[in-house]
């Protein structure tokens, strides 16, 4: 009986203990408390380090604004891939002007490929296809590719602002900022 009540400190309200045993249990409980406190401290410490780890010291994110050269650099009717690698943007020059398409598939976020011969963007992950305008027409992608803000900077270069997105399904492609008439 004595042994049981010592081994199960969680249930101290067992049979009335004798004097010697009382001290033993109190001692035990204080050790127990110490153990818990140190365990909690260690866990918190470890967790906080893990949390800290989630926030990197340096972020190699390309700036959201970039200058994309002069309008004359772009050929009419061509999907320009020069900024794809670095900024994740396709520049498309239509007869009327320029727009900047995001290279993120609207299905699950893979990067589609521009197929020149078929004149479409085709995603390698589940086969979504988009027209040159960014409109989705095949595969599972539920909405068109997003466009970014394009404007002319003072020095005559094109400014692409990736912090401003325009989604066709919300009617935002009518916004003059989503298109640079030339």
Residues that bind other proteins (CB under 8 A): 84-86, 88, 103, 107-108, 110-113, 115, 117-118, 122-127, 129, 137-140, 142-143, 169-170
- Candidates 23-31, 33-41, 71-79, 139-147; binding stretch for ligand FES (CB under 6 A): 139-147
- Nearest 5°: the CA angle 122, 124, 129 is 25
Q: Does 104 bind ligand FES (CB under 6 A)?
A: no
Q: What is the chain's length?
A: 182
Burial (Cβ within 10 Å: 0-12, 13-18, ≥19) of residue 163: exposed
Q: Does 178 bind ligand FES (CB under 6 A)?
A: no
User: CB under 5 to 8 A by kind: which of other proteins, ligand FES, none does 24 bind?
Assistant: none
CA 97/CA 87 separation, integer angstroms: 20
Q: Does 102 bind ligand FES (CB under 6 A)?
A: no
Out of 17, 139, 157, 172, the residue judged to bind ligand FES by CB under 6 A: 139
- Candidates 41-49, 66-74, 119-127, 165-173; binding stretch for ligand FES (CB under 6 A): 119-127
Q: Does 145 bind ligand FES (CB under 6 A)?
A: no
Tell me phi and psi for residue 45, to 5 degrees. Answer: -60, -50
Closest CB to ligand FES among residues 76, 108: 108
Contact 37, 45 (CB under 8 A): no
CA 101/CA 112 separation, integer angstroms: 11
Q: Does 98 bind ligand FES (CB under 6 A)?
A: no
The candidate with the shortest Cα–Cα distance to 152, out of 67, 89, 72, 88, is 67
Site residues, ligand FES (CB under 6 A): 105, 107-110, 123, 125-128, 139-141
């Amino acid at each position: 009986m004595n042994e049981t009540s010592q081994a199960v400190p969680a249930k101290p309200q067992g049979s009335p203990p004798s004097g010697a045993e009382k001290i033993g249990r109190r001692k035990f409980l204080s050790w127990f408390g110490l153990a818990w406190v140190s365990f909690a401290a260690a866990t918190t410490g470890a967790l906080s380090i893990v949390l800290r780890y989630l926030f990197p010291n340096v972020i190699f994110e390309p700036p959201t604004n970039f200058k994309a050269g002069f309008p004359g650099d772009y050929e009419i009717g061509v999907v320009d891939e020069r900024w794809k690698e670095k900024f994740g943007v396709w520049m498309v020059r239509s007869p009327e002007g320029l727009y900047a398409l995001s290279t993120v598939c609207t299905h699950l976020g893979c990067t589609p490929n521009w197929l020149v011969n078929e004149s479409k963007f085709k995603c390698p992950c589940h086969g979504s296809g988009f027209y040159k305008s960014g409109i989705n027409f095949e595969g599972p992608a539920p909405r068109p590719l997003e466009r970014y803000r394009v404007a002319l900077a003072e020095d005559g270069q094109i400014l692409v602002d990736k912090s401003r997105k325009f989604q066709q399904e919300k009617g935002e492609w009518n916004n003059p900022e989503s298109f640079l008439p030339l």
